[in-house]
Amino acid sequence: MKRSILSTCVTIILLSGCASFPSDIEPYPHSAAQYETASCTQIANDHNRLMMRVNKISDDMKNTARNDLWQVGAGIVFWPFLFFLGDEDDFKKRELADLTGRIIALEEASNLKNCKLHATSD
């Protein structure tokens, strides 16, 4: 019984050190008012630029999170792997939260100005 509780606690601690998936990150709030003087073209250009950056960061974070899960799995068999786990994605978490908040604000500004946002191809 004690061993099962201990192993559960160790597993929770190890998984809490893993990198985050992008879908787990809440956007920082930004106001659409900051874009009230921007034209529809400027809003669309900013939106496309930010979306490309969000996609890049999201892909990087997904790869890091998957790698961390593999390392935790390997750590169960060979515990020195656990020393390689770290929370290196803290900056990316903050950047992703900021960018997604700005994208939401751009989309709100676009709706207020009746602008059309077009998806970009990467």
Contact 34, 106 (CB under 8 A): no
58 — pLDDT class (breaks 50, 70, 90): confident
pLDDT > 90 in the chain, percent:
33
Write out pLDDT tens, residues 65-92: 777 665 666 556 555 655 555 555 677 8
What's the pLDDT tens digit per position in 92-103? 888 889 999 999
DSSP-derived secondary structure for 58-113: HHHHHHHHHHHHHHHHHHHHSGGGGGG---TTHHHHHHHHHHHHHHHHHHHHHHHT
What pLDDT shows up at residue 116? 86
Structure tokens given for 9: 């606690």
